[in-house]
Amino acid sequence: MNYPNKNRIESLDLLRGVVMVIMTLDHCRDYFHLGALESDPTDMQTTTPVIFFTRFITHFCAPAFVFLAGTSAFLFGTKTTKSNLFKFLITRGLWLLFIEIFVMNLIWWFDLSFGYINLQVIWAIGISMIALGLLIYLPQKVILALGFILIAGHNLLDGFVMEGNSLSSVIWYVLHQPNYNISIAPNLMIGIVYPVLPWIGVMALGYCFGNLYSSNFDSCIRKKWLLRFGLGTIAIFFILRGINVYGDLTPWAFQKNGLYSVLSFFNVTKYPPSFDFILITTGPAFLFLYAFETAKNKITDFFIVFGRVPFFYYILHIFLIHLLALLGLIITGGDWHTMILTNDKFESNILLHYGYSLGVTYAAWIVVVPLLYPLCKKYMHYKANHKDKWWLSYL
């Protein structure tokens, strides 16, 4: 997420841009790959190594996105008062909740009846921003401790399972237990895909991490810490995952051969993000920041464009991918109504038979990203040249 009136740090924008482009691959898989809307690419019984790692590589996106949102909040806070930062985080969080419910669900499903409201990453970021807005008044050591506790300790809650649609159950779904099908009315379902408890921890740690990018922080010392964080986090993942007792809702297990056992080892839980999941996704992000601290070339410039307008890009890329999937059905003689994703489409299992090869999925990815680049670049320049327009910080 972008924050107003702060000097850009290109390595952070670069990381954000790279994960946005990788994220696009996963969403192209959702809309183009055969059966993707109804099947799990990490199911050891049905997946292949290529499909598994096509999904796995996109795991890096949400943690980096949420973590860097916290970092951006810290950096904005160094340029303004705490009360202004509080106001921005609360209003931005509420705005994101509105966008998730009323805009993203329309774009995801093309269902004008809003029969299914899915609360995903934008929802989680919005709730986490509101929580961070309250936390910023605490000492940073307390925020840091709370972040660690939420990330490392939330798997202790895995055994608490709620059922039904009672208020206490819904609150638990919001906090920790995903539930894809909460029936609110005969024609209205709500899915809570991103329980927020660990994501609040990720954003809180990202906020504290912003200290490394303060204007008076030595860059050489920062690189040393980035290397330590990266290697240390990955090492903890392998140790914890190897012990196989704590850190993930689903322990890994030996499979039909060595390759699938490796897949099982890396098959960490995203909903909600387990401790192992956060370790293996944030560790490489630290190493990326270490390696690309001062990188500057045409390739990095390309990714930085997306990293400077991530929310704008996020909205556009979902709409474009969904629209292309619909157009694909028209071109191939299929029924374009298949891509109007109402509840009955999922219940009828028609989506199990919709889709194309993985090659088509990658081709769609390669098409979508360059198509959006010129518009994102124009908007990036517009934002840079109109800093007086407060509303731009909300898009």
CA–CA gap between residue 32 and residue 361 (Å, rounded): 5
pLDDT score for 184: 86
pLDDT score for 111: 96
CB 57 within 8 A of CB 25: yes
Taking only the tens of pLDDT, the chain with its 395 residues reads 544 434 679 999 999 999 999 999 999 999 999 999 988 999 999 999 999 999 999 999 999 999 999 999 999 999 999 999 999 999 999 999 999 999 999 999 999 999 999 999 999 999 999 999 999 999 999 999 999 999 999 999 999 999 999 999 999 999 999 998 898 888 899 999 999 999 999 999 999 999 999 989 999 999 999 999 999 999 999 999 999 999 999 999 999 999 999 999 999 999 999 999 999 999 999 999 999 999 999 999 999 999 999 999 999 999 999 999 999 999 999 999 999 999 888 888 889 899 999 999 999 999 999 999 999 999 999 998 888 777 777 77
| Residue in the block written with tokens 């499903």 | 109
CB 338 within 8 A of CB 330: no
The three-state secondary structure class of 185 is: strand
CB 241 within 8 A of CB 278: no
Is the Cα dihedral 215, 217, 218, 224 positive or negative? negative
Element (H, E) at 315: helix 310-331
| Residue (of 346, 349, 335, 340) closest to 322 by Cα position | 340
- DSSP letters, 90-127, are HHHHHHHHHIIIIIIHHHHH--TT--EEEE-HHHHHHH
Give the DSSP letter of residue 355.
-
CA–CA gap between residue 176 and residue 199 (Å, rounded): 10
pLDDT score for 394: 77
Q: What phi and psi values does residue 356 have, to the nearest 5 degrees?
A: -130, -175
Q: Which two tokens stand for residue 306?
A: 């997306």
The three-state secondary structure class of 25 is: helix
CA 205 to chain centre: 16
pLDDT score for 262: 97
pLDDT score for 5: 39
CA–CA gap between residue 372 and residue 365 (Å, rounded): 11
Q: Which residues of 332-370 are buried (b: 16+ CB within 10 A; e: fewer)?
A: eeeeeebbebbbebbeeeebeebbbebeebbebbeebbe
Q: Which two tokens stand for residue 344?
A: 């009955």
| Residue in the block written with tokens 């390696």 | 291
pTM of the model: 0.95
Region label for 244, one of left (φ > 0), alpha (ψ between -120 and 50) or beta (otherwise): left
Q: Measured between alpha carbons, how far is residue 46 from residues 35, 39, 120, 192, 248 in Å?
A: 11, 9, 25, 25, 21
Nearby residues of 380 by Cβ (< 8 Å), 6 or more positions away: 305, 308, 309
For residue 129, how many C-alpha atoms fall within 13 Å in the half-sphere facing its CB? 29
pLDDT score for 348: 85
33, 35, 36, 37: CA torsion to nearest 10: 130
| Residue in the block written with tokens 């839980």 | 269
- DSSP letters, 19-46, are HHHHHHHHHHHHHHBTTTTTS-TT-TTT
